[in-house]
A and B are shown apart, each in its own frame.
Chain A
Amino acid sequence: MKTSIAFWNILRKDMLNYYLKPPNISWGIIFPFAWMLMMLVKSGNTFEINSVFPGIVAMSILFGTTSMLSVTITFERKSRSFERLLIAPLKTELLVLAKITGAILFGIFNSIIPILLSVLFFNAIVINWLVLIAGIFLLSIISTLLGLFISVSAKEVFEAQTYSNFFRFPMIFLCGLFIPVTALPAIVQPLSYILPVTYGVDVLHNAISGNGLLPIGINLIVLFAFCIILFYISIFNIRRKWIV
């Protein structure tokens, strides 16, 4: 009971203080909209929604979650309000879970606009909605955990942004968002397979066009394993770096 009160209130505080602020909501709308418009303008009449749909959904989630979580955690550390959470009688696991839940929900929210735009205005076809939902959920978790991993290493907000970009931009090219992994030079393909986002994007490809690289089950298992590993590495880093 006590832990659920704390969990819910940390989540509520983060939602009200950060994620539901108008600039962040507008980010969740404008970002995917701008990307779709860019694709449309660039492709002209040859625009194939199903080829860009998974990439835009994945990018909206990836940029939304990593930006927000790494900034909010670094900001709270800098203002020392994060200490308040660390000295409360809460397990670090619970505290981290509460902090990342807001970002996961924000990631899921960021995926709604590109899905609506794709399905309602561009007649995109989703062959398996259940898998799409599972993919969005897991991609939001894994992106959030990457954001957490980054924020634990950064001391300043600008550092967190720089580190985030260091991870995010290569992922656009390496994780099959717009360029299929099989179309990449053979020498960089192994890199794609060590990045968790590749498996999340592959679930989206499976759900939307059925053209995934790997079976859905394998993707889900690998994503789940990455989630556990990143979660515990972050917990370990918090205990090692913040409680010195």
Chain B
Amino acid sequence: MTDKIIEVQGLKKSYNGFVAVDEIDFEIKRAEIFGFLGPNGAGKTTTINMLIGMAKVTSGIIVYKGTDLTKNIKKAQELIGVVPDESNLYDEMSGFDNLCFCGALYGLTKKERENKAHQLLELFQLKEAANKKFKAYSKGMKRKLTIAAALIHNPEILFLDEPTTGIDVASVRQIRNLIKELNENGTTIFLTTHYIEEAERLCHRVAFIHKGKIIENNSVDNLIADSHTTNGVEIRFEPVNEKQNPLMQNLKNHFHGFDCMQVNDSTIKITSEDIIDIAPVVSFLSNEGLFIYEARLLKPSLEDAFVKATGIEMDILKKEKEKNKI
């Protein structure tokens, strides 16, 4: 996982004076899953569109395996498969015909595309629905077929734009497993998602983009490690009707250096610069009359790294995205 498959330098896109992407640099290594995270309007889609040849580049270069995309877009397009944020296959065609048609666009012979279509339908567990019209597919099935269509010509790089948004849990799990499997078989994956835990679970490296600029670009482990400034404990108990303000104060007084917050009527969150020993805290709260059923150390996550880097709470990001999907 050392050689670069995509190299982006000084990439910029402006429309009528508005800078959507502002001189960003990054590289994607062969056979890695690269996550691209950012709020709405951050420049993610514009960046993807430039990478796949659907948007013109204002300045900068995009190099795919040594080929400058800005000079030879069609050669670069042979190497890539694209899964847009909305399934865009043909409603009136069957799943099998859709796959074969997509194969034909890349010059696959009839035999080649039919064989590959059968393989993909099998892999994506869509064999039973092969002859059904695309419009009769469920959302999850449509998403899977759209991913399959992007793989019909065996691309080296797969662009996945929000692959699991708006689909059922079973399909989400299946798609995530398929992404892992494809990557294990050597496909390089460029992934945008607003499910940050998805990026944390799947990606090797992640870049955060905000207001057109890349503000962090590192391995997931490094991003999480860098965001780890405080220790935290979350304690859950039987709901109490009112705010336990005196209890919070007592807790602070008893354990110096603690910052305590009652999240809701059944949860307390404690943070501290020092390592927190859970047992005495639980014992103290029990003595204060709370019935505790869960206490856990809060591990830093990619979400913490994102919030730290962008200053944007993930809840806001999710709400933004959900609103756009309606």
Q: Which residues of A contact B (CB under 8 A)?
A: 1-3, 5-6, 8-10, 13, 17, 79-81, 83-91, 243-244
Query: What are 22 A-B contacts with C-beta separation under 8 Å?
Result: A3-B107, A5-B109, A8-B104, A9-B104, A10-B105, A13-B101, A79-B88, A79-B91, A81-B88, A84-B88, A84-B89, A85-B105, A87-B52, A87-B53, A87-B77, A88-B105, A89-B75, A89-B78, A90-B74, A91-B74, A243-B54, A243-B56
B interface, by DSSP: helix, strand, loop or mixed? loop
| Cβ of B33 to closest chain A Cβ, rounded Å | 21
| Assembly CA distance A242 to B291 (angstroms) | 62
| Assembly CA distance A90 to B52 (angstroms) | 13
Tell me which residues across on chain A come within 8 A of B109, comparing CB atoms: 5
Tell me which residues across on chain B come within 8 A of A3, comparing CB atoms: 107
| Assembly CA distance A73 to B114 (angstroms) | 27
**B77 touching A81, Cβ below 8 Å:** no
Given contacts A9-B101, A13-B93, A85-B105, 20 further A-B contacts (CB under 8 A): A1-B107, A2-B106, A2-B107, A6-B106, A9-B105, A10-B105, A80-B86, A80-B88, A81-B88, A81-B90, A83-B88, A84-B102, A87-B53, A87-B77, A87-B82, A89-B75, A89-B77, A89-B78, A91-B74, A244-B55
The size of the chain B interface, using a CB distance under 8 A, is: 29
Tell me which residues across on chain B come within 8 A of A8, comparing CB atoms: 104
Q: Is B92 an interface residue (CB 8 A)?
A: yes
Contact of B105 among A6, A17, A79, A243 (CB under 8 A): A6
**A6 touching B54, Cβ below 8 Å:** no
Tell me which residues across on chain A come within 8 A of B102, comparing CB atoms: 84
**B89 touching A81, Cβ below 8 Å:** yes
A interface, by DSSP: helix, strand, loop or mixed? helix
Contact with A along B110-132 (1 / 0, CB 8 A): 00000000000000000000000
Q: A13-B93, A17-B90 are in contact. Are A84 and B105 (CB under 8 A)?
A: yes
| Assembly CA distance A48 to B251 (angstroms) | 103
Q: Which residues of B contact A (CB under 8 A)?
A: 15, 52-56, 74-75, 77-78, 80, 82, 84, 86, 88-93, 101-102, 104-109, 149
| Cβ of A25 to closest chain B Cβ, rounded Å | 16
**A244 touching B74, Cβ below 8 Å:** no
Chain A, Cβ-Cβ closest to B149: A84
Q: A5-B109, A17-B92, A89-B75 are in contact. Are A83 and B104 (CB under 8 A)?
A: no
**A80 touching B105, Cβ below 8 Å:** no
Tell me which residues across on chain B come within 8 A of A85, comparing CB atoms: 105
Chain B, Cβ-Cβ closest to A82: B88
Tell me which residues across on chain A come within 8 A of B93, comparing CB atoms: 13, 17
| Assembly CA distance A239 to B89 (angstroms) | 22
Tell me which residues across on chain B come within 8 A of A80, comparing CB atoms: 84, 86, 88
**B107 touching A6, Cβ below 8 Å:** yes
| Assembly CA distance A84 to B52 (angstroms) | 11
**A89 touching B106, Cβ below 8 Å:** yes
| Assembly CA distance A3 to B74 (angstroms) | 12
| Assembly CA distance A88 to B74 (angstroms) | 8
Q: A83-B54, A243-B53 are in contact. Are A90 and B105 (CB under 8 A)?
A: yes
Tell me which residues across on chain B come within 8 A of A5, comparing CB atoms: 104, 107-109
Tell me which residues across on chain B come within 8 A of A244, comparing CB atoms: 15, 55-56
Tell me which residues across on chain B come within 8 A of A89, comparing CB atoms: 74-75, 77-78, 106
| Cβ of A5 to closest chain B Cβ, rounded Å | 5
Sorted from nearest, which 3 A-B pairs have the closest CB atoms?
Answer: A2-B107, A9-B104, A88-B105
Tell me which residues across on chain B come within 8 A of A81, comparing CB atoms: 88-90
**A87 touching B104, Cβ below 8 Å:** no
Tell me which residues across on chain A come within 8 A of B105, comparing CB atoms: 6, 9-10, 84-85, 88, 90
| Cβ of A208 to closest chain B Cβ, rounded Å | 39
| Assembly CA distance A244 to B104 (angstroms) | 26
| Cβ of A167 to closest chain B Cβ, rounded Å | 28
Tell me which residues across on chain B come within 8 A of A87, comparing CB atoms: 52-54, 77, 80, 82
| Cβ of B93 to closest chain A Cβ, rounded Å | 7
| Assembly CA distance A9 to B93 (angstroms) | 13
Tell me which residues across on chain A come within 8 A of B55, comparing CB atoms: 243-244
| Assembly CA distance A120 to B14 (angstroms) | 62
| Assembly CA distance A17 to B97 (angstroms) | 11
| Assembly CA distance A193 to B86 (angstroms) | 46
Tell me which residues across on chain A come within 8 A of B77, comparing CB atoms: 87-89
Chain A, Cβ-Cβ closest to B88: A80
Tell me which residues across on chain B come within 8 A of A83, comparing CB atoms: 54, 84, 88
**B90 touching A13, Cβ below 8 Å:** yes
| Cβ of A80 to closest chain B Cβ, rounded Å | 4
| Cβ of A13 to closest chain B Cβ, rounded Å | 6
Chain A, Cβ-Cβ closest to B75: A89
Tell me which residues across on chain B come within 8 A of A243, comparing CB atoms: 53-56
Tell me which residues across on chain A come within 8 A of B15, comparing CB atoms: 244
Contact of A86 among B54, B80, B101 (CB under 8 A): B54
